[in-house]
Amino acid sequence: MKNFTCVNDIGNLDVAIKEALEIKADRYRYDTLGKNKTAMLVFFNSSLRTRLSTQKAALNLGMNVIVLDINQGAWKLETERGVIMDGDRPEHILEAIPVMGSYCDIIGVRSFARFENKADDYNEVILNQFIRHSGRPVFSMEAATRHPLQSFADLITIEEHKTVKRPKVVLTWAPHPKALPQAVPNSFAEWMNAAEYDFVITHPEGYELDPSFVGNAHVEYDQMKAFEGADFIYAKNWSAYTGDNYGKVLSTDRNWTVSERQMAVTNNAYFMHCLPVRRNMIVTDDVIEGPRSLVIPEAANREISATVVLKRLLESL
Ligand code: AN0
Ligand code: CP
């Protein structure tokens, strides 16, 4: 695997899941594969899980790790080419990227959608600059349009808990006070479609996702109807994608907060969320603390998805 930015990079999902479960059963099995290799993790945005689980994954493989928070101690980066740099940004990303690449063997990047320019976000301008100019394999730790390490961990979690081959999985929008990217729902949809589950997306009107991620998923605007008979509920907020509303919050309707009321019509569904989660906006205390909540094992599986991805990148060096 040369880079890891989307579901296609991982290839056959059955093979990937098998590899993940083998690594989960013996996570230090490849502890010499990364000897004298350095992973650099570059964060343009905050993180708890991605930061910790990816470092742990690198350590599982015997790698060295360098973590850089761009906004804490590094020079502020200009990202536009052609700009006269007489403002508050002393360094250009086109020098910073190859310099970072010179100190490591593999680079992970977290760079959220900035909501300034939809085309720049959906063309993954920052992530692609890393791919083009670092000279290293690059993996996404959540970029503008996708969060593949999260979706891979979500897939592993569903595979561990499902009781039928093709479970009903429902992605539901839920309210949040701030504008959040579409990366997590886009990516989740991409992986669920690839897994060929019975996949339903529910959200208020105006929150339609990019059709290329929705694919053949069934879109249902009635949340209660969508939840009927579901085996897994995956909650997430996202801001609007469509037209001039790109990056806007159109609703904070707490009728969409996942509670026992909606969970009651499911097939005793498991509850999932990528975290961090705002309680009693996205989900009630009762549901997230309940016996069917998978949020902690789901987060724990981030170590497993990252170990598989780093292992495969190391194998292709
Ligand atoms: C981010 C998002 O919604 O993309 C990260 C989730 C993993 N969430 C927040 O910024 C709260
Ligand atoms: N789920 C996830 O990626 O969490 P962090 O933003 O804390 O890394």
Ligand nearest to the CA of 115: 1
Q: What phi and psi values does residue 198 have, to the nearest 5 degrees?
A: -80, 100
Encode pLDDT of 63-87 as tens digits.
999 999 999 999 999 999 999 999 9
Q: pTM here?
A: 0.98
User: Given pLDDT bands bounded at 50, 70 and 90, which one contains residue 282?
Assistant: very high
Q: Which of 188, 237, 275, 301 to mutate to test the pocket of ligand 2 (most atoms within 8 A of CB)?
A: 275
User: Is-contact 233 170, C-beta < 8 A?
Assistant: yes
> If you measure from the C-alpha of residue 82 to the centroid of ligand 2, how many angstroms do you get, rounded to a whole number?
33
Q: Is the CB of 276 under 6 A from ligand 1?
A: yes
User: Given pLDDT bands bounded at 50, 70 and 90, which one contains residue 25?
Assistant: very high
Summarize the confidence of residues 119-136 as an average pLDDT.
98
User: Given pLDDT bands bounded at 50, 70 and 90, which one contains residue 288?
Assistant: very high
User: What one-letter code names the amino acid at 299?
Assistant: A
Q: Is the CB of 274 under 6 A from ligand 1?
A: yes
Dihedral sign for Cα atoms in the order 200, 201, 205, 210: negative
Average per-residue pLDDT in the chain? 98
> If you measure from the C-alpha of residue 32 to the centroid of ligand 1, how many angstroms do you get, rounded to a whole number?
33
Give the pLDDT of residue 306. 99
Ligand nearest to the CA of 46: 2
Return the residue whose CA atom lies nearest to atom 1 of ligand 1: 180
Give CB contacts under 8 A, 24+ apart, made by 33-37. 33/61, 33/62, 33/311, 33/314, 33/315, 34/58, 34/61, 34/62, 34/63, 34/64, 34/310, 34/314, 35/62, 36/64, 37/63, 37/64, 37/105, 37/106, 37/314, 37/317
Q: Is the CB of 77 under 6 A from ligand 1?
A: no
Encode pLDDT of 85-124 as tens digits.
999 999 999 999 999 999 999 999 999 999 999 999 999 9
| DSSP run (H or E) holding 266 | none
Percent of the chain with pLDDT over 70: 100
Q: Which of 43, 50, 150, 238 to mutate to test the pocket of ligand 2 (most atoms within 8 A of CB)?
A: 50
Instruction: Report the atom number in ligand 1 closest to the C-alpha of 183.
Output: 4
Q: Is the CB of 184 under 6 A from ligand 1?
A: yes
Give the pLDDT of residue 112. 98
Return the residue whose CA atom lies nearest to atom 3 of ligand 1: 180
| DSSP run (H or E) holding 101 | helix 93-102
Encode pLDDT of 190-242 as tens digits.
999 999 999 999 999 999 999 999 999 999 999 999 999 999 999 999 999 99
Summarize the confidence of residues 139-158 as an average pLDDT.
99
Give the pLDDT of residue 56. 98
Instruction: Report the atom number in ligand 1 closest to the C-alpha of 276.
Output: 11
Give the pLDDT of residue 230. 99
Give the pLDDT of residue 87. 97
